[in-house]
């Protein structure tokens, strides 16, 4: 009897965590985001499905290189529910990432999505770090045609280690994956995290924290 209860509770915990950790299944064919609605829901409210048009499910522009003339030498072009309203409730989106030679898509995490990336051009050094206490770096050099996956929530990055430009396409398991860039979130928050918090957290002098805060 006790065994049955344990099995039942385990199943219950499993199904609940499953339901909470991933975006819910659609309850209709589609729910095109109605950006004009002021209603606040988890996601975006649907426009009248009778008004659906092909363009609601369409985006053009991923053939265009992103402008990598910035300090990192990389540019992410997103295609999520903000750019493609038909993605609402579908739990999926994509990005194009351009990298100048030695360009970096700096360490960041997507709070709501696993990411699967494929290299279209060039060579990338990619990696992610497992959670505490191991904090193991799992990394690899990937080339044109290779595929690498970054598990949901984990901090990851890509660096162009080839001689020319690099291009990647990635799919993400959320209509709105979100991005937390570690450097910007920790040293560039608004308002700032108090420097005594950061000096202790990073075990460095205040001058170093001040320098980092001015950069982000
Ligand atoms: C790329 O971005 C840089 C820096 O913002 C800007 O000066 C330059 O004009 C941009 N190039 C193109 C082609 O848009």
pLDDT(5) > 90: no
pLDDT(4) > 90: no
pLDDT value at residue 19: 46
pLDDT value at residue 13: 47
Nearest CA to ligand 1 atom 14: 67
> Are 131 and 193 contained in the same domain?
no
Q: How far apart are alpha carbons 88 and 35 in whole angstroms?
A: 11
Nearest CA to ligand 1 atom 13: 67
Q: Which residue has the tokens 């529910």?
A: 81
Total count of domains within the chain: 2
Dump pLDDT digits (tens) for 62-105: 999 999 999 999 999 999 999 999 999 999 999 999 999 999 99
> Does 174 fall in a domain?
yes
> Are 216 and 189 contained in the same domain?
yes
| CB atoms closer than 10 angstroms to residue 26 | 12
* 166-172 and 137-143 strand pairing: unpaired
Q: Which of 69, 100, 165 best tests ligand 1's pocket when mutated (most atoms within 8 Å of CB)?
A: 69
pLDDT value at residue 138: 98
> Are 64 and 126 contained in the same domain?
yes
The domain of 185 spans 180-216
Q: Looking at residue 158, which CATH number applies to its domain?
A: 2.60.120.10
Tokens of 70: 């910035």
> Are 108 and 160 contained in the same domain?
yes
> Does 15 fall in a domain?
no
Tokens of 78: 């997103």
> Does 1 fall in a domain?
no
Report which ligand 1 atom has the smallest distance to the Cα of 67: 1
pLDDT(59) > 80: yes
Q: How far apart are alpha carbons 81 and 94 in whole angstroms?
A: 10
Angle at Cα 187 formed by Cα 65 and Cα 77, nearest 5°?
15
> Are 161 and 148 contained in the same domain?
yes
Question: Is the C-beta atom of 69 inside 6 A of ligand 1?
Answer: yes
> Does 10 fall in a domain?
no
Q: How far apart are alpha carbons 115 and 92 in whole angstroms?
A: 10
> Does 140 fall in a domain?
yes
> Are 143 and 99 contained in the same domain?
yes
> Are 71 and 169 contained in the same domain?
yes
Q: Which residue has the tokens 């770090």?
A: 129
> Are 170 and 203 contained in the same domain?
no
> Are 141 and 188 contained in the same domain?
no
> Are 98 and 170 contained in the same domain?
yes
> Does 199 fall in a domain?
yes
**What sign does the CA torsion over 53, 58, 59, 63 have?**
negative
Q: How far apart are alpha carbons 182 and 109 in whole angstroms?
A: 8
> Does 111 fall in a domain?
yes
> Are 75 and 172 contained in the same domain?
yes
Q: How far apart are alpha carbons 2 and 98 in whole angstroms?
A: 56
> Are 142 and 166 contained in the same domain?
yes
pLDDT(7) > 70: no
Report which ligand 1 atom has the smallest distance to the Cα of 70: 4
Nearest alpha-carbon partner for 101 in 164, 50, 49: 164
Is 156 among the annotated ligand-binding positions? Answer: yes
CA distances from 73 to 51, 62, 125, 129, 152 (A): 41, 18, 14, 22, 25
The dihedrals phi and psi of 116, each to the nearest 5 degrees, come to: -120, 125
Dump pLDDT digits (tens) for 8-54: 545 444 444 444 567 888 899 999 999 899 998 888 999 999 999 99
């Amino acid at each position: 009897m006790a065994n049955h209860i344990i099995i039942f509770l385990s199943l219950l915990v499993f199904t609940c965590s499953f339901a909470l950790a991933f975006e819910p299944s659609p309850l209709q064919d589609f729910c095109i985001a109605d950006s004009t609605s002021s209603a606040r829901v988890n996601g975006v409210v649907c426009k009248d499905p009778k008004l659906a048009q092909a363009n609601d499910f369409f985006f053009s522009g991923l053939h265009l290189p992103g402008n990598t003339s910035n300090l990192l030498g990389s540019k992410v072009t997103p295609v999520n529910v903000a750019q493609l309203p038909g993605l609402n409730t579908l739990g999926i989106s994509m990005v194009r990432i351009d990298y100048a030679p030695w360009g970096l898509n700096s360490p960041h995490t997507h709070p709501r999505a696993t990411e699967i990336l494929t290299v279209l051009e060039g060579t990338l050094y990619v990696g992610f770090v497992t959670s505490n206490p191991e904090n193991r770096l799992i990394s690899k050099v990937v080339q044109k045609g290779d595929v690498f996956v970054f598990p949901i929530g984990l901090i990851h990055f890509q660096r162009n280690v080839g001689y020319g430009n690099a291009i990647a396409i990635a799919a993400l398991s959320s209509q709105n994956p979100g991005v937390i860039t570690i450097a910007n979130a920790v040293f560039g928050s608004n308002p700032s995290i108090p420097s005594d918090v950061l000096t202790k957290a990073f075990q460095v002098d205040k001058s170093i924290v001040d320098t980092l805060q001015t950069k982000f």
